[in-house]
Amino acid sequence: MLKSSLMMLAIIFLSLSFSNVSASNSALSQQEEECYAVAMVAYDTVINSGLGLPLDQVIDSMVKNSTAMNTIDIYQDFLMLVVMDAYNWQGSPHTYAVKTLFKCAAEHTGGAHTY
C-alpha cells in the first residue's frame, strides 16, 4: 500500500516537473528549461530507486505520460539514459541532479563535453 502511494506520488511529481517547463514568460531559454526538467527527473529517480520502485515501472509511467515526452522530444534518449543511470547512482539525489544539469547543458548547447 505504501509503495503504491509513493509510486503514484512520484508519477505526479514527474508529470508536474514537465508541465511547468512550457512557461512562455520564463527568463530561461527553451534548452535551459528542458535541461532543468531532465535534472528534476534525475533527482526524483534517485529517490525512487532508493524507495525500491522497479525501473521498468518508472519508465512505463514516463512513456504513458504523453505530456512529458512531447515536451522534450529531442531529449528522449538522453532522458532515458538519465533515468537508467539514476538507479546505479550511489550519491545524493541533489548531486546527481546537478551533474545531469551540467551534462545536459554541455551536450545540448554545443558545449564541450568533459565527462
Tell me the pTM: 0.65
Q: Average pLDDT, whole number, for the chain?
A: 75
User: Measuring CA to CA, how many Å separate 49 from each of 22, 42, 55, 98, 114?
Assistant: 27, 11, 7, 17, 27
Q: Is the pLDDT of residue 85 over 90?
A: yes
pLDDT band at 8 (very low <50, low <70, confident <90, very high): low
Between these two residues, 42 and 3, which has the higher pLDDT value?
Answer: 42
What pLDDT was estimated at residue 3? Answer: 63
Give the separation between CA 27 and CA 53, rounded to whole angstroms.
35
Q: Rounded to 5, what percent of the chain is helix, strand, coil?
A: 75, 0, 25
